[in-house]
Amino acid sequence: MTKLSHLAENLKGSEIVKLGNEISARVHAGEKIYNYTIGDFDPKIFPIPGLMEQMIIDSYKEKNTNYPAAQGIIELRKSVSHFAKKWNNLDYDPSEILIASGGRPLIYGVFAILVDEGDKVIYAVPSWNNNHYTYINKGIHCVIETTVENNFMPTAAEVEPHLKDATLLCLCTPQNPTGTTLEKEELEKICQLVVAENKKRGADEKKLYVMFDQMYFTLTYGKTKHYNPVSLMPEMKEFTIFISGISKAFAATGVRVGWSLGPEKVIAKMRSLLTHMGTWAPMAEQKALSKFLLEDAYISDYFSHFKAALSERLEKIYDAFIKLRDKGFPVDAIIPQAAIYLTLKFDLKGKKINDRVLETQRDITSYILDEAKLAVVPFYAFGAEEHSPWYRLSVGTCKLEDLDGLFAQLEEALKKLK
């Protein structure tokens, strides 16, 4: 085969997508699998809000099918400004807001605008795709291996040693894949470190920016609260680029409308880059969302019901895993806090089924899939060590009526292991 670019020759595809494709093939072949791998929603279980749907339909009927403005239409940027103020206590002018087709192009834009070859990028693992974006932009990986004791979230003490000469610090809360959150005190400490580091740098030196991915910020449960750098410490506004959108807040992953909030200079450069890539959200969706995001009462009611349905699934699955753990099986789970994810543990390495030994996490993943028909994503797919026994389970496709059957099969599969 003809040799391609160095980037292409060494590029790794998404482990999550690869696993999802394998499972989809088995489902299409007629196999009954509880597929809780992809961070997506089954629209039959979690449809987008009815009002949003109708507004999008109406927008297409109104012939809103031409190119939108490169930074997003002004009506939508004004509505995003309102939404950010109402639900996130953030005050951003439309000139500080960039619209794109979901979060991915915006994250790529942050990396491409800020990170030069050889620049240090700090991120914790497990986390979503920071390793790939750092590779694509030829950055230096500064990886923090998080621990279960801290709910797999980075601490200020772990971040601090990497800050000198770093260009980008990637934070995500609520976290994909763990469904856990950064606590207020820890985030405050991290912000203080970032501000202090930037004060040390001269006027001609690059600053340290924080990419703050809060795509799941509306989905918190119980006593869990979401905090953001700028609300906690206004000085952080100069150094923070937010990633947000409708994908998870409204089960609208396929509608493809995301936004960044950040310093106007950075946002303008991201806009210029993305104009060359054509990553704008469709005009009809932008027009519709510019109206929908102003419907505060409707949105509040939607959040209440949507979050209750997600929380119910997370709690039921968590309780079922704890019951298995209490029966003596080598499994565990972290109490659900946020997002659509539950962190699970399958500590099965070295267990035997007949003459077969489960030697690796890949063996364990395959065994759970084959015997219990449960498909979940190992943390190594999110940059963690390959021997990590922890997994992500996503409830976006979960039917409550499936859970009794699933856990009966899982218990039988665990009983077979010696």
101 torsion bin: left (phi>0), alpha (psi -120 to 50), beta (else): beta
d(CA 229, CA 128): 20
The upper half-sphere exposure of residue 45, i.e. CA atoms within 13 Å in the direction of its Cβ, equals 14
pLDDT at 364 over 90: yes
Sorted by where each begins, the domain ranges of the chain are 6-46+300-415, 50-295
Q: In what order do the strands lie in the sheet with 331-333?
A: 331-333, 341-346, 390-394, 377-378
d(CA 229, CA 232): 5
CATH tag for 50-295 (out of 3.40.50.510, 3.40.50.970, 3.40.640.10, 3.30.70.1060): 3.40.640.10
d(CA 117, CA 115): 7
Query: Among residues 328, 321, 292, 306, which one has the least CA distance to residue 407?
Result: 321
pLDDT, one tens digit per residue, over 215-225 is 999 999 999 99
Q: Which pLDDT score, from 0 to 100, does residue 1 have?
A: 58
d(CA 333, CA 336): 9
Q: Which pLDDT score, from 0 to 100, does residue 12 have?
A: 82
pLDDT at 17 over 90: no
Domain 6-46+300-415 fold is Aspartate Aminotransferase, domain 1 (3.90.1150)
Q: Which pLDDT score, from 0 to 100, does residue 223 have?
A: 95
d(CA 231, CA 338): 19
In eight-state DSSP terms, residue 153 is -
- Report the predicted TM-score, pTM, of the whole model to 2 decimal places: 0.95
d(CA 144, CA 125): 6
Q: How far is CA 354 from CA 84, 323, 360, 370, 418, in A?
A: 56, 26, 17, 15, 8
